[in-house]
Amino acid sequence: MSTTALTAEGTHRDAFTNSDWLLLAVPGLIWGASFLQIAESLNGFTPAAVTFGRIFFGFLALSFSRSVRSKIDRSDWPQSSP
């Protein structure tokens, strides 16, 4: 069995194109920038303030998303076992 049989089929089997690199780099830069911001924030704020800020800004970001506020049908709730 070859290793290609174990992976999902992509859009092409050639080397990465410029748009593929961009799709990889942009989320990586955004994700990495948050850690840089946390490290820099610790120079001016206490760890408790940085923790509260991360939770607060995460709450703000999620509160504007409509998919987070969608109603879950009662039938989709987990059933409690006796």
Q: How close are the terminal C-alpha atoms of the chain, in Å?
A: 46
pLDDT value of position 29:
95
Asked whether residue 58 is domain-assigned, the answer is: yes
Asked whether residue 9 is domain-assigned, the answer is: no
The boundaries of the domain holding residue 46 are 29-65
pLDDT value of position 81:
66
pLDDT value of position 51:
95
Asked whether residue 22 is domain-assigned, the answer is: no
Asked whether residue 54 is domain-assigned, the answer is: yes
Q: Give dist(CA 57, CA 79) in Å, integer.
A: 33
Asked whether residue 20 is domain-assigned, the answer is: no
Asked whether residue 47 is domain-assigned, the answer is: yes
Number of domains into which the chain is organized: 1
Instruction: Tell me what the mean pLDDT of segment 58-75 comes to.
Output: 80
pLDDT value of position 15:
80
Confidence of residue 68 (pLDDT cuts 50, 70, 90): low
Asked whether residue 44 is domain-assigned, the answer is: yes
3 or 35: which leads in pLDDT: 35
pLDDT digits (tens, 9 = 90+) for 18-65: 888 899 999 999 999 989 999 999 999 999 999 999 999 989 888 887
